[in-house]
A = this chain, B = another copy of it.
């Protein structure tokens, strides 16, 4: 089969869009109907790092700070996280999980595995390593 080597950005974008669609389906399957992929990413990040400032969170999820404020505010409205002022810096607000989201931890582990696993279907360990290497190499160009 013929392999095009131009239009690489479009291929990356298409893959992202397909994967994100899959994330949305998985969220719906878990009954988390009103969450978008980015909300899920915030929760997954917080399972790992417990408490993060909005700034650090925005860096982790690769979104602008205004977007992060809005995403977090929605998660607060839905009861998944809470925002508390930091004691040593009055500007900083720390975001952390609630009981509600902690109870979904296993769901998100499963979701993450499903989503990454699907992209990787049929990949050898070497394929995975190689794809990750090339993506990191490309990411370093920005």
Contact = CB atoms under 8 A, between A and B. Distances in A.
Interface of A: 3-23, 41, 62, 112, 115-116, 118-123, 127-142
A128 B5 contact: yes
Contacts of A140: 122
Q: How many protomers of this protein does the assembly include?
A: 2
Contact of A17 (B10, B62, B120): B62
B132 A8 contact: yes
6 contacts: A8-B132, A9-B19, A12-B119, A12-B135, A13-B16, A13-B20
B10 A41 contact: yes
Contact of A131 (B8, B17, B23): B8
